Amino acid sequence: AQSVTQPDIHITVSEGASLELRCNYSYGATPYLFWYVQSPGQGLQLLLKYFSGDTLVQGIKGFEAEFKRSQSSFNLRKPSVHWSDAAEYFCAVVPTGGGNKLTFGTGTQLKVEL
């Protein structure tokens, strides 16, 4: 079955430390890949997307993600976390060719310690 897995439900990092959030997918062909961020009570904001080409993708707010086909992964990274990065992060996919719906992982809640 097609699925998106975010293995870490909660992650706590100190401000200024590096961050990596994991995402694995299970699809027949490489889907289009996205990371979204959601602050409490808010909608989702797109951080970055991967369709094809360079496997290291740069996004907003200093985030980047690396697509690894061999591992079916699309992990999100940030070199130095700021307190304002505390939020919930969702990995999402759309089947190649566009499709009509995003399939989301269950999310990773990020807490930043000052």
| 104 lies in the site for other proteins, by CB under 8 A | yes
- CA–CA separation, 81 vs 113, rounded Å? 10
| 57 lies in the site for other proteins, by CB under 8 A | no
Site string for other proteins, 3-42 (x = CB under 8 A): -x---------------------------x-x-x----xx
Name residue, tokens 């694995």. 24
Rank residues 46 and 56 by Cβ distance to other proteins and give the closer one: 46
- CA–CA separation, 109 vs 23, rounded Å? 13
Site string for other proteins, 82-101 (x = CB under 8 A): --------x-x-x--xxxxx
Q: What is the DSSP string of 55-84?
A: SEEE-GGG-EEEEEGGGTEEEEEESS--GG
| 52 lies in the site for other proteins, by CB under 8 A | no
Q: Which two tokens stand for residue 26?
A: 């299970």
Q: What is the closest distance, in whole angstroms, from the C-beta atom of residue 16 to other proteins in the complex?
A: 28
Contact 91, 34 (CB under 8 A): yes
Chain positions contacting other proteins, by CB under 8 A: 4, 32, 34, 36, 41-46, 49, 51, 90, 92, 94, 97-107
